[in-house]
Structure 1
């Protein structure tokens, strides 16, 4: 893990309790290393969004009940947050187009989209209004990296990665 600059890796079933534990461990690590509070806040917010996406939106594949992976790494200039979970293939086109749209927007465009989504506040059947990825893009200031790996006729594995700069905003 140290060779790859990984702070924390968790693979398995994700529950609200496990999510809390992952957040506490990552926060302790950032406290221990003396990370600046504004950077900690951004990393923590992005972690919460990624973990909530897994808890709310991961689909179960046979005996693998909501199994997923979450990793956080630290390089000299960035924290890298990576997550992955199974999703139903029929959900891939919608999610892919949503992520691609987010990646076309600049800071101001993301702000407008966020406000627009809040005003419409359409809650999905899984409990989200779709703000998470927009919020991640706003907090990170980076393009979202993602991939969908087909597993079989029913499921794909959704991999998601974002970076948070450790360099102060100018």
Structure 2
């Protein structure tokens, strides 16, 4: 049972206030958002900060629900997604992770690099371009999620792809929202 203590120490050391690992559905997403909102309410967080954090969380969770790739490799077992939110003195850190097909990495990386290269006005312009010229994909998205995360957080999106097999990697995404209004 030492692992529970080790997990607790890890959560404290990394200022994590909520971790969920498992299947992500719309219902579970609503529950995770409600728990995070209650936590921010309990510490008296400013409403403008809560809105930004909530918006980024929604986009992160929708990204998992709509875009996680199902692993079809029996040697890897069942991999699910993870969501974490942490709070430091000056910022909230929202981190997600989910399996992704290696074939999809380049397009995700290109999109994130483009978004991270833009300033506030550039992000606003890209957002408008996507709204005007994009159709909804079969997964239900128009490609606005990452752009919206960058716009609302005001910070670059950090990411990694950890190889899992020849076909899959684990995609981790971190968004930081300042607690300064």
Runs (4+) off by over 3 Å: none
CA drift at 1:123:
1.6
CA drift at 1:151:
0.9
1:43-58 → structure 2 map (5 Å cutoff): 43-58=53-68
CA drift at 1:150:
1.4
- Whether 1:149 and 2:157 are equivalent positions in the alignment is no
Count residues with an aligned counterpart.
Answer: 167
CA RMSD of aligned residues (A): 1.0
CA displacement, residues 72-127 of structure 1 (integer Å, 9 cap, x when unaligned) = 00000000000000011111000000000000000000000000000012222211
2-side partners of 1:75 and 1:6: how far apart?
9
1:1-170 → structure 2 map (5 Å cutoff): 1-62=11-72, 64=78, 67-168=80-181
CA displacement, residues 122-164 of structure 1 (integer Å, 9 cap, x when unaligned) = 2222111000000000000101100111111111110000100
1-side partners of 2:152 and 2:143: how far apart?
15
Q: Secondary structure at the match of 1:2?
A: helix
Q: Structure 2: which 5+ runs fail to align?
A: 1-10
Which protein has the larger Cα radius of gyration, Structure 1 or Structure 2?
2
Q: Secondary structure at the match of 2:112?
A: helix
Give me the TM-score of the superposition, normalised by structure 1: 0.95
CA displacement, residues 18-75 of structure 1 (integer Å, 9 cap, x when unaligned) = 111100000000000000000000000000000000000001124527x100000000
Q: Structure 1: which 5+ runs fail to align?
A: none
